[in-house]
């Protein structure tokens, strides 16, 4: 069921008889509880990756690759991966990024600043949908910032090569749709200050690097606190039996009531439950947001919204508390 269908269904169910709601409530509660019991992740375990070819969400394997995860998150949180490019794509093999960006001032590809190399922590296989660190040939402990997503099952090759390539996470939900879209792009070989092979591009209008439309990347670590910025409200939402998603709302009315409206195109299902997520009650139409951050600080707590227009996915603020 799509999120749109879900909201329409919930809206219609608000007027169903009490016994039917009670029965359905029990079923949803069981499914939701099962989901929580199966897997609960910390917010720091989840990273959103936005590209020009779509978005996907990563779950980190901090239990088996703690140094690698900490290293990767340091680049994410510092903004080092912002506006980097996917600089390598090999059909049915990998897409690779995290090392370079396009510099318009020099009309060339430049390297990002990197920290010291980290120890290899190979333990999980390089199967389809996993993310691993790239490194120098013949040096297992040379990984810095570059990462790759396995487009196929590369375990037979990469698990035994160069000490094994450290898998430190996986793509969640339907995120491989975006990764596969990048994997399907045409590539170009580039010679500039540095030479690159198999660089994917969205379009190529001429013969120079400046004419290439590269696949740009940005990343952000998920916080269970809702965040408001750039005109949107971003929320990690547990919708019970429907699943868990990273959703965005816009503020469509601020007076006399505050109304927020879902942006369906920005919804990313993450298939994992996080601690202290916002929740949507299927039966009352209530959206509860435990914390709201503005400019990096918690400004409000216990925000309660009511679904007031299922067709436009709009919720009206009922109550909230200012943070102490």
Tell me, yes or no, whether 52 and 34 share the same domain.
no
Tell me, yes or no, whether 162 and 230 share the same domain.
no
Predicted confidence (pLDDT) at residue 270 exceeds the cutoff of 90 = no
Tell me, yes or no, whether 111 and 149 share the same domain.
yes
Tell me, yes or no, whether 50 and 147 share the same domain.
yes
Select from 170, 195, 220 the last residue of a domain: 220
pLDDT in tens, 132-181: 999 999 999 999 999 999 999 999 999 999 999 999 999 998 899 999 99
Predicted confidence (pLDDT) at residue 265 exceeds the cutoff of 90 = no
pLDDT score recorded for residue 161 = 97
Tell me, yes or no, whether 56 and 7 share the same domain.
no
Select from 189, 220, 251 the last residue of a domain: 220
Tell me, yes or no, whether 64 and 206 share the same domain.
yes
pLDDT score recorded for residue 257 = 95
Q: Say which residue, 242 or 113, is predicted with more confidence.
A: 113
Tell me, yes or no, whether 162 and 258 share the same domain.
no
CB crowding 157-178: b at 16 or more within 10 Å, else e: ebbeebbbbbbbbbbbbebbeb
pLDDT score recorded for residue 40 = 45
- HSE value, Cβ hemisphere, 13 Å, CA-based, for 70: 10
Tell me, yes or no, whether 167 and 253 share the same domain.
no
Tell me, yes or no, whether 12 and 75 share the same domain.
no
Lowest average pLDDT, out of 29-38, 275-284, 292-301, 312-321, goes to 29-38
Predicted confidence (pLDDT) at residue 24 exceeds the cutoff of 80 = no
Positive or negative: CA dihedral 100, 101, 105, 108: positive
Q: Give which of 159, 132, 166 is closest to 147, Cα–Cα.
A: 132
d(CA 278, CA 201): 37
Predicted confidence (pLDDT) at residue 121 exceeds the cutoff of 50 = yes
pLDDT averaged over the chain?
Answer: 85
CATH number at residue 131: 2.40.100.10
Tell me, yes or no, whether 94 and 163 share the same domain.
yes
Domain count, the chain: 2
Lowest average pLDDT, out of 21-35, 188-202, 238-252, goes to 21-35
Range of the domain at 175: 44-220
Neighbouring CB atoms inside 10 A of 63's CB total 9
Compute φ and ψ for 160, nearest 5 degrees: -110, -5
Predicted confidence (pLDDT) at residue 119 exceeds the cutoff of 60 = yes
Pairing of strands 195-204, 212-214: antiparallel
Q: What is the percentage of the chain residues whose pLDDT exceeds 90? A: 65
Tell me, yes or no, whether 235 and 305 share the same domain.
yes
Cis check for the bond before 256: say yes or no (omega within 30 of 0).
yes
Residue pair 287/280 in contact (Cβ under 8 Å)? The answer is: yes
pLDDT score recorded for residue 316 = 97
CB-count burial class (<10 Å; 0-12, 13-18, 19+) for 149: buried
Tell me, yes or no, whether 194 and 154 share the same domain.
yes
Select from 181, 197, 220 the last residue of a domain: 220
pLDDT score recorded for residue 42 = 55
């Amino acid at each position: 069921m799509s999120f749109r269908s879900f909201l329409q269904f919930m809206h219609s169910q608000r007027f169903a008889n009490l016994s039917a709601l009670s029965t359905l409530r029990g079923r949803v509660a069981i499914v939701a509880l099962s989901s929580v019991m199966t897997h609960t992740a910390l917010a720091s375990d989840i990273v959103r990756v936005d590209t020009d070819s779509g978005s996907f969400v990563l779950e980190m394997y901090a239990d088996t690759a703690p140094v690698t995860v900490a290293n990767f998150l340091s680049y994410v949180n510092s903004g080092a991966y912002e506006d980097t490019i996917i600089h390598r794509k090999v059909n049915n093999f990998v897409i690779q990024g995290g090392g370079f960006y396009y510099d318009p001032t020099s009309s060339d590809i430049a390297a990002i600043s990197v920290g010291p190399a980290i120890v290899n922590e190979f333990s999980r296989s390089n199967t389809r949908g996993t993310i691993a660190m790239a490194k120098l040939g013949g040096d297992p402990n040379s990984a810095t910032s570059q990462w790759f997503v396995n487009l196929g099952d590369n375990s037979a090759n990469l698990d035994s090569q160069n000490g094994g390539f450290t898998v430190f996470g996986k793509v969640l939900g339907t995120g491989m749709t975006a990764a596969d879209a990048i994997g399907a792009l045409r590539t170009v070989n580039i010679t500039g200050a540095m030479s690159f092979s198999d660089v994917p591009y969205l379009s190529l209008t001429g013969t120079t690097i400046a004419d290439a439309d590269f696949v740009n990347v940005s990343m952000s670590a998920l916080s269970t606190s809702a965040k408001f910025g750039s005109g949107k409200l971003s929320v990690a939402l547990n919708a019970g039996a429907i699943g868990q998603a990273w959703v965005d709302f816009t503020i469509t009315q601020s007076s006399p009531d505050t109304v927020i409206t879902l942006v369906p195109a920005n919804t990313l299902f993450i298939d994992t439950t996080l601690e202290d997520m916002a929740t949507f009650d299927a039966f009352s139409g209530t959206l509860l947001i435990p914390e709201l951050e503005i400019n990096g600080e918690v400004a409000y707590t216990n925000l309660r919204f009511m679904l007031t227009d299922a067709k436009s996915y709009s919720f009206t603020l009922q109550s909230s508390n200012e943070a102490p």
